[in-house]
Amino acid sequence: MAEKKQHTLVSAETKEEMSAAQVAEKNDEAKKKKIKEAKPVGNAGGLRIGAVCLWVLALVFEILALLVLNGKISLSFMPTLWQLILFIVLDLACVIIGAQLWKKANHIKPASEKNKLLFWLWNNMGVIAAVICFLPLIILLLANKDLDKKTKAIAVVVAIVALLIGGVSSYDFNPVSQEQQEAAISALGDEQVYWAPFGKVYHTHEDCSALNQSDTLTVGTVEQAIAANRTRLCSFCAKRDAITGVVTDDAAD
């Protein structure tokens, strides 16, 4: 039988190290009281406002790039190509940061998946923002006949690459629904769960064999785990505890 891995446990709430006894104590406290509402893990509304503000700023940078393209404004100390690249890069930074804030908000307060189309759109607003913030610029660059061929070619390539990077970075490959979150909270309540620095899975047992490669684990509630983008329960832990109705991962990590 393999020797039990000794982990360093870190609280998801305080970011401080915890002992196994402290984790057990928190579990005992949770079992002694009725939890009517899940404890908040962040301000989803504030994150969404921040995301929208950044996307609006990204649009401003796109407009500035278009004004440079049309000769309406010009930074005299910088060639046209570098002006275009500058605004494209600033546009991209705002799109990506805004998308990360939006995805974080979606894991704190997920959308319902009853309407599949709306669920996808809500979870991928960052992709839509990326398209809006780059596609018009690409089209107008291609249609512009005043730029020299070299400047035009480089600017188009940079804008297309920015669109691809922004789109991929904004896409939510690991969305969670309101129904999935509610099922997990209903099954586990305020019980402490564990997750590794990497991966998308949380665990109900610190000695789970799937965690043997991790020296440090974060400890928190299932709501905090989902907010940290660990949206699926380890399938080994689910079988061990006979937990059903919760999204699991057949290849736990």
Domain ranges within the chain, ordered by starting residue: 8-31+191-249, 44-170
Backbone angles phi, psi at 193, to 5 degrees: -120, 170
Q: Quick one: tokens of 188?
A: 């586990």
pLDDT tens sequence for the chain (253 residues): 455 566 777 777 667 776 766 666 666 555 443 333 334 467 889 999 999 999 999 999 999 999 999 888 888 888 999 999 999 999 999 999 999 999 999 999 999 999 999 999 999 999 999 999 999 999 999 999 888 999 999 999 999 999 999 999 999 988 889 999 899 888 888 888 999 888 889 999 988 888 888 788 889 898 899 988 888 999 999 999 898 889 887 644 4
What is the Cα–Cα distance from 194 to 88, expressed in whole angstroms?
Answer: 40
Strand 193-195 to 216-220 pairing: antiparallel
Q: Determine the pLDDT at residue 216.
A: 83
What is the Cα–Cα distance from 179 to 119, expressed in whole angstroms?
Answer: 12
Indicate the pTM of the whole model.
0.76
